[in-house]
Amino acid sequence: MSNVILYDELTWPEISSLPRDIPLVIPLGTGYDLEQFCLALGNPETIIFLPPFPFGWVGSGLEVADDYLEAYISNLITSLREDGFTRVYALTPQGINLSLGANQISLDHPNQWQPLPGLPSDLDVDKVVLIPIGHTEQHSYHLPMSTDTLIISAISQGVVKACRELCVNLPVMPYGVSTHRSSFCGTLNAGGRAFEDFWLDIVQNLVVRGFNRIYFINGHGGNSSFLVNIIKYAGEKYRRIFCATSWLYLSGSAGIASLEQHRESKLGGMGHACELETSLILSLRPDLVHMDRVRDDTDFITTPSYYMDWLEGGSIIANPPWEDDSIHGAYGSGSLGTTEKGRIWLDDAIEEKISHIKEIHEQHSRREIRRNAGFGLWGAQK
């Protein structure tokens, strides 16, 4: 049987050096017969598996319209093909047509006969639905492609563990938006429009089932502006829900205080593959961190209203090519990352999100009281 390598555990230079004819696979879910799949590909010596796509198809427990799933997956495959990889496949249960032609392989899958129960359970309808979204992208020479996903998944799991009575989480989504993906090989891009369509359909699915408190938590900066659009569209369309997001993590007053208290880097030392992310991955998956390969990139072109740090301060918003400011794919000082700081910042990030969960419950409750009492124009609608 073929040797299997996990794409998201590799670093950007390792992916860049892969033979371009090596098979790359994006599976929809897990549980496939690996031997059968290897046979379908002709038993190649090595297969690279990307992170499983967690839901979205019939039988997955949480589905979207076929067109939205197709666009999302197609854009991911296109990302890899643009980097020169010639054998890129979506592995799907039988009966699903993503219009990918030879780029789709369908195999028997348990969900065909026994669909997963609804995600989340309808018993949790009075809880906040926590939706963690990471990404699969380069994190310089020393961190894995899964960095954003590992971090936001750990935060999500920590929040639910601490307050199960208040929230429930979906499986983490390991694919987001990278408009700068051409700068460094191997970074994927779901595409902004496909990303928004997919997640708005997820919101609709949840609302139809009775969920009315939804919180997108985000581990990847490139997702942020698109998540804001989703929140705005959802709030306009579904007026009795409270759907929210926030800027990454450790971005509130307590989180900022924690960063300032423990960081060793100067302004510009925390952006990407930086002191913060390196510390967090050291605390979560030290086996995937290569501190001997760290290359700090802190020569960002800085002006008073535009500079790079964790909160991307300044009043100017822009998106110049990464090549202008980063030689090795980092923004910041990864060399200053430590396990101890990672543990502190992970705990503080979890506490920050717990406080948000409580606020979302309060916001929804107080707004429903006003609505039901006929406050302002709500009274005119009765």
- Domain residues of the chain, as ranges? 1-116, 253-343
What is the reported pLDDT for 181?
76
Burial class (CB in 10 A: 0-12, 13-18, 19+), 69: buried
Contact of 142 with 294, CB cutoff 8 Å: yes
Length in residues, the chain: 382
Classify residue 281 by burial, with Cβ atoms within 10 Å: 0-12, 13-18, 19+. Answer: buried
* Cβ–Cβ under 8 Å, residues 29 and 93: yes
Sole residue written with tokens 């990302």 = 79
The pLDDT value recorded for residue 161 is 97
Under 8 Å between Cβ of 226 and 238: no
In which residue ranges of the chain is pLDDT below 70?
112-113, 115, 382
Which helix or strand (DSSP H or E) is residue 167 part of?
strand 167-169
Count the neighbouring beta carbons within 10 Å of the beta carbon of residue 68.
Answer: 21
DSSP state of 141: T
pLDDT of amino acid 367 = 97
Alpha helices in the chain (DSSP H): 12-16, 34-40, 66-82, 147-162, 192-208, 224-237, 253-262, 275-284, 339-372, 377-380
Q: How far apart are the first and last CA of the chain?
A: 66
